[in-house]
Amino acid sequence: MLIAQFSDLHIKPAGKLAYGRVDTMAFLDQALAHLAALPQRPDLLLLTGDLVDAGAPDEYERLHERLRGVAMPWLLIPGNHDSREQMRASFPEHPWVGRTGFWHFVAQEAHWPLRIIGLDTVVAGEGRGEICAERLAWLRARLEEAPDVPTLVAMHHPPFDTGIGHMDEIGLAGREGFAEVVARHPQVQLVVCGHLHRNIRATVGGRAVMTAPSTAHAVALDLAPDAASMFTLEPPGYLLHWWNDGSIVTHHVCTAPAEGPYPFHDPGLD
């Protein structure tokens, strides 16, 4: 099984740039073109939050229009820039999600070796995320009902501090409970998140956890506790998670145009 993970698309209304500078839709188109040109077509596209910039209907409409052209199933997770209510209105066909409450889901197809749990960490109106008692109980129950099925957990806010001070300030509350629950469930092969606009790896409760880069702008790399809140336009990307014989292997893919591929041995150049 091959899963592509896009994150933090921050789609804006037509004609608007994010932060006055970033054409996030053009970056999404670049990522989608890269995805479509992969030698192997992924089985699934997973989008881990901050799908749009302001949770607005016209933003989701623009995203939906692009997703209709994707040649694989896709699943959405809300981030702090999203509105779960508007997502329900804009994506009524989204499978596995209930009509009310948190935007949680369990995705499982007979031909998939992995069970995918989507977890809603959003606190409406705030940048930070939370796994409250209700959400933790839901996650625990989902993991207890299928202890032998390899599982990927997807959520927007990562359950660890990254060192980038201004992002850690809008990090995930309730992470201790999350760590305890996944520690008791070794079927959790990987936890994938967004929010940081960078590819960052950590271990939580003995489980591998990582954040995906944004398809558009990156959070500036500055590990000072008082780091200024800045972004860069370093080459954007996405993650490819490959299930191989009992474990998940993750590739970080850069979507910027690149020369090649060239043969390692080119008789014409030797």
Q: Which residues bind Fe ion (CB under 5 A)?
A: 8, 50, 79-80, 195
Contact by Cβ (8 Å): 109, 95: no
Q: Which is nearer to Fe ion, 79 or 159 (CB)?
A: 79
Q: Which is nearer to Fe ion, 114 or 212 (CB)?
A: 212
Q: Which is nearer to Fe ion, 178 or 243 (CB)?
A: 178
We find the least distance from the C-beta atom of residue 53 to Fe ion, in angstroms, to be 9
Strands 105-107 vs 172-173: parallel, antiparallel or unpaired: unpaired
We find the least distance from the C-beta atom of residue 81 to Fe ion, in angstroms, to be 6
The CA-CA-CA angle for residues 197, 202, 205, to 5°, reads 130
Q: From CA 217, how far away is CA 213, in angstroms rounded?
A: 9
We find the least distance from the C-beta atom of residue 10 to Fe ion, in angstroms, to be 6
Q: Which is nearer to Fe ion, 150 or 158 (CB)?
A: 158
Q: From CA 50, how far away is CA 194, in angstroms rounded?
A: 8
**Dihedral (CA of 224, 225, 226, 227) sign:** positive
We find the least distance from the C-beta atom of residue 219 to Fe ion, in angstroms, to be 8
Q: Which is nearer to Fe ion, 55 or 79 (CB)?
A: 79
For 182, list phi and psi in degrees, rounded to 5: -70, -25
Q: Which is nearer to Fe ion, 189 or 215 (CB)?
A: 215
Q: Which is nearer to Fe ion, 35 or 51 (CB)?
A: 51
We find the least distance from the C-beta atom of residue 112 to Fe ion, in angstroms, to be 27
Q: Please provide the DSSP assignment of 105-161 as one string.
A: EEE--TT-SSEEEEE--B-TT-SSEE--HHHHHHHHHHHHT-TTS-EEEEESS-SS-
Kindly list the distances between the CA atom of residue 4 and the CA atoms of 42, 75, 190, in Å, as whole numbers in the listed order: 6, 11, 14
We find the least distance from the C-beta atom of residue 144 to Fe ion, in angstroms, to be 29
We find the least distance from the C-beta atom of residue 236 to Fe ion, in angstroms, to be 12
